[in-house]
Structure 1
């Protein structure tokens, strides 16, 4: 089975998530602005559980990568198995100090390349809260197209949150045709 490689970009070194990254995940997940559209802040124990769950799906080239810029922690990027074989869900979560610098797009572009070229996925999608216009702009700039609006499962949002969400996606042939 294919393991997760280190994925370097121009500015980011994406290394496979490990148990040693718990403090990074816990710190990032404790920031209310970072977690605003992700169900609210997590305690250290909840972050540890998220880490365990995330490590369970890291196989076949899929998983989560910890991103470092100039040797410092910047955030996480992920390719999580989708509901159907041959597809994966793209995700990213960055420290606020790294917002609006093009890093979410840069890391996500490398995960798209990896998913389609190295892993052989047929489709990659991303989902976010309908109110998260910044993430939607990143998805669109990557070439993902809006495919649907939906009402999210309440377990993914904090009580009282707006459950309206969107999905963007791109297929392998479409992505490869763009070169």
Structure 2
């Protein structure tokens, strides 16, 4: 698989059609899925039949520039999770969502910030991205901390999606953070 992006400790690369097991394992951890499904795992058949094909279709849709990418440690090659930088399916290409989902073993090591910083740099400096946004549950303080470390600012509260009302803290809704290319450039100066 070709490398998409490297940071100090991580390599991000496209997922292969044969790598469903990485996502099945990641999404089977109740702690990883806590603020997404209330801890329920993603069914393996859904990963194989819908998630992986959707990831691969995204690479084609966005000329392999944007999408969801597997993250591995440079030292030893361990799979740590995934990062994404991608527009909404019907949205403008210069507005992209930033996302990340990491294995518990990778938590607290700065990987979410490091991988996200690398994606922001690529998106703003090379891919013509104008605005990057990210959303999470209001109560998901670790994810919010990452967004704030990246220089993203809270732009609005968002309602809890109907399919997430059983998730812990869903009564508090969610939040959306954003950073513009101009703000990112100021932080780099």
- TM-score if structure 2 supplies the norm length? 0.86
What is the 5 A alignment of 1:167-178? 167-178=176-187
Query: Paired residue for 1:101?
Result: 109
2: CA distance between counterparts of 1:142 and 1:115?
14
Query: Paired residue for 1:116?
Result: 124
What is the 5 A alignment of 1:74-153? 74-82=80-88, 84-85=91-92, 86-153=94-161
1: CA distance between counterparts of 2:23 and 2:55?
11
Q: State the shift of 1:95 in Å.
A: 0.5
The number of residue pairs the alignment matches comes to 174
Query: Paired residue for 1:41?
Result: 41
1: CA distance between counterparts of 2:98 and 2:30?
21
Residue ranges of structure 2 left out of the alignment (5+ in a row): none
Q: State the shift of 1:56 in Å.
A: 1.9
Query: Paired residue for 1:64?
Result: 68
1: CA distance between counterparts of 2:158 and 2:78?
36
Q: Quick check: 1:17–1:55 contact (8 Å CA) kept in 2?
A: yes
2: CA distance between counterparts of 1:18 and 1:148?
35
Q: State the shift of 1:79 in Å.
A: 1.0
CA deviation map 1:90-115 (0-9, x unaligned): 00000100100000110011111111
Q: Quick check: 1:122–1:172 contact (8 Å CA) kept in 2?
A: yes
CA deviation map 1:46-83 (0-9, x unaligned): 22222222222222411111011121111100012136
Instruction: State the 4+ residue runs in structure 1 displaced beyond 3 angstroms.
Output: none
CA RMSD of aligned residues (A): 1.6
SS at match of 1:64: strand
SS at match of 1:19: coil
Q: Quick check: 2:14–2:69 contact (8 Å CA) kept in 1?
A: yes
